[in-house]
Amino acid sequence: MAGTRPTVRRRRLAAKLIEFREQAGKTPQEAADRIGCHRTKINKIENARLGISLGELRDLLRFYAVVDDALVEDMVSLARRSREAGWVHRVGLARPTFTDFIDYETTANYIRSYESSLIAGLLQTPEYARAVLACPPSALGHEEIEALVESRIKRQEILERSDPPRVCVIETEAALRLQVGGREVMRNQLDHLKAVADHPFVELQVIPDRAGAHAGLNGSFVLFSFPNSTYSDVVCVEHRTGMLYMETEEEVEEHTLIFDSLRSIALSPADSLDLIARVREHL
């Protein structure tokens, strides 16, 4: 349906088709010729404004020399589900995989993150991340935890790109005081927060305890915005076994209002760093 807002799955499908086409050295016109359509159809598919039939998808994948059967079936499954709006990405208990989340984090040009009880993933140290992932009743083994820690730290490389996204993070004072991993881990984590706050594309604010009740009491969330104007913002809420994605206009507007409200009661970036330093001193 060309007139609908592109869903998160359709966006991912479109991005992968572009990636495969470019890797194969094919042009949009060549792709159109392959499946017998006008070039504008390929453009709409690659802009996530138009779906693609399973037959056309399989034909294009063959044309792009995608021969891995598992990868082909993943793409077909993605295409089948691409008309669904928001969804909960179901995974095994205590073994969440956030492929779509990482895709959005990598392609977004503006990331707004509110964390009510933990340090945001993009700002975590390896030791802090390891303590979070190992928290009971986690059934993750040592190797799985280390792989997830490595993945979480690798995500932070987006801040070192030549074109990093703008990142606005709001933390609570409670998150700063929660001794995840013990005092030494938290000291290092708070030192890291002060260091990353100097990044020109990072803005860090803290909501002090004295702020009292506020709009963020219902929990943490991340808002992604994208440079492609055809891609609407996406709200992501992490839970124990996966990630909830919300993309309707009403859901995005509601969480944008919440984020703006939280920014208005949070300390300024400079005062937030002062609070971080005071918490650090008392550890």
How do residues 82-122 score in pLDDT, each as one tens digit? Answer: 655 443 343 333 333 467 788 788 889 999 999 999 999 99
What Cα–Cα distance (Å) separates residue 152 from each residue in 38, 101, 171? Answer: 42, 12, 18
Q: Which long-range contacts (CB under 8 A, 24 or more apart) does 64-67 make?
A: 64/20, 64/21, 64/23, 64/24, 64/26, 65/24, 66/20
Q: Please, what is the end-to-end C-alpha distance for the chain in angstroms?
A: 56
Quickly state the pLDDT bin for 32 (edges 50, 70, 90): very high
- CA 223 to the chain's CA centroid: 8
pLDDT mean over 165-194: 97
Indicate if the pLDDT at residue 64 is higher than 60.
Answer: yes
Share the mean pLDDT of the chain: 88
Q: Domains in the chain, please, with CATH?
A: 8-80 (1.10.260.40), 87-281 (3.30.870)
Residue indicated by tokens 């205590």: 94
**pTM score > 0.85 for this model?**
no
Indicate if the pLDDT at residue 230 is higher than 70.
Answer: no
Residues 6+ apart with CB under 8 A from 132: 118, 124, 180
Q: At what angle do helices 8-23 and 99-107 cross, to 10 degrees?
A: 70
| SS3 assignment, position 80 | helix
Average the pLDDT over each of 63-67, 133-137, 178-182, 257-261 and give the range with the smallest value. 133-137
